[in-house]
Amino acid sequence: MRKPLMAGNWKMYKTAPETRAFFQTFALLVTQSGHCEIVICPTFPNLAAAAEATQGTRIEIGAQDMYWAKEGAFTGEVSGPMLLAVGAKWVLVGHSERRQYFGETNQTVLKRTVAALEYGLKPIVCVGEKLEERESGRTEALLAEQFREGIAQLSSEQFAKIVIAYEPVWAIGTGRTATPEIAADAHRFLRSLVASDYGQDAAAAVRILYGGSVKPDNVKILMAQPDIDGVLVGGASLDPAGFACIVNF
């Protein structure tokens, strides 16, 4: 059985004091949430505060991005070993905002994922189509391309350690959630790609999260889809009570 993974992506929100205040409330609301894994991804400067605030809880901390080199003359970048050293266990890779604003490609997604695994971080690799791709009937072609170029180059051993997040770009931050049917179709399609490249066992084992305007009032119907194994939540993960509702769907 795939254990649900409920992840929050804080994007460029919250200071360190706001981070600590969030966990003071949130940690108490999820003490009984053994049905799932919980991951929060704050900004780089707040990883240490988040890791400290969640010590002794079941909440794990992730970064929103990382560079693939171990260290070096790469001004502004942050490496896997640095993330580990401040207590991060997870890392988002290839979020659509990284692809849209910061030049992320399927090739750099692959490099980051391989590096994250090498340093012992657990990557959540994001894929998803834009509105024009959906409207022109190219959703599956686009997902297949992101999968083949950005993920399917991993060995079976590497693949077994990643989580995939399906986030249709048109549903992110727009209040426009994919219907459970649209999300379920995309998840089924992604799982079929996994089956053809890595086999049935890998397809049955890999967790595929849904992301895009997940809220307390739509999480239940999304999580009721057999191929949806968790959620990646932006806006609604910033509020402790709201995100606890999502976690405890």
**What gap in Å lies between CA 39 and CA 80, rounded to an integer?**
17
Angle at 150 between CA 144 and CA 154, to 5 degrees: 110
- By Cβ distance, which residue is nearest to ligand PGA? 234
Interface segment toward ligand PGA; rule CB under 6 A; list 25-33, 56-64, 111-119, 208-216: 208-216
In the complex, least distance from residue 180 CB atom to ligand PGA, rounded to whole angstroms: 16
Applying CB under 6 A, the site for ligand PGA has a residue count of: 13
Q: What are phi and psi of 101, to 5 degrees?
A: -105, -20
Whether 167 is catalytic:
yes
Give the bridge partners for 126, in sequence order.
Answer: 165
In the complex, least distance from residue 213 CB atom to ligand PGA, rounded to whole angstroms: 4
User: Could you say whether residue 235 binds ligand PGA (CB under 6 A)?
Assistant: yes
Name every residue whose Cβ is closer than 8 Å to that of residue 73 and which is 6 or more positions away in sequence: none
**What gap in Å lies between CA 67 and CA 115, rounded to an integer?**
8
User: Could you say whether residue 172 binds ligand PGA (CB under 6 A)?
Assistant: yes
User: Could you say whether residue 179 binds ligand PGA (CB under 6 A)?
Assistant: no
Angle at 62 between CA 60 and CA 65, to 5 degrees: 175
Q: Which of 214, 219, 222, 246 binds ligand PGA (CB under 6 A)?
A: 214
User: Could you say whether residue 233 binds ligand PGA (CB under 6 A)?
Assistant: yes
**What gap in Å lies between CA 5 and CA 100, rounded to an integer?**
25
In the complex, least distance from residue 95 CB atom to ligand PGA, rounded to whole angstroms: 6
User: Could you say whether residue 94 binds ligand PGA (CB under 6 A)?
Assistant: no
Q: Which of 99, 167, 210, 240 binds ligand PGA (CB under 6 A)?
A: 167
**What gap in Å lies between CA 232 and CA 209, rounded to an integer?**
6
Whether 71 is catalytic:
no
Residue closer to ligand PGA (CB basis): 74 or 102: 102
Catalytic residue among 60, 95, 104, 129: 95
In the complex, least distance from residue 166 CB atom to ligand PGA, rounded to whole angstroms: 11
Where does 145-233 show beta strands of DSSP type E? 163-166, 208-211, 230-233
For 79, what's the count of Cα atoms within 13 Å in the CB-facing half-sphere? Answer: 13
Name every residue whose Cβ is closer than 8 Å to that of residue 121 and which is 6 or more positions away in sequence: 63, 66, 80, 83, 84, 88, 89, 90, 91
Interface segment toward ligand PGA; rule CB under 6 A; list 56-64, 109-117, 184-192, 205-213: 205-213
Q: Which of 17, 45, 120, 173 binds ligand PGA (CB under 6 A)?
A: 173
Residues marked active site are found at: 95, 167
**Residues near ligand PGA (CB under 6 A):** 9, 167, 172-173, 211-214, 232-236
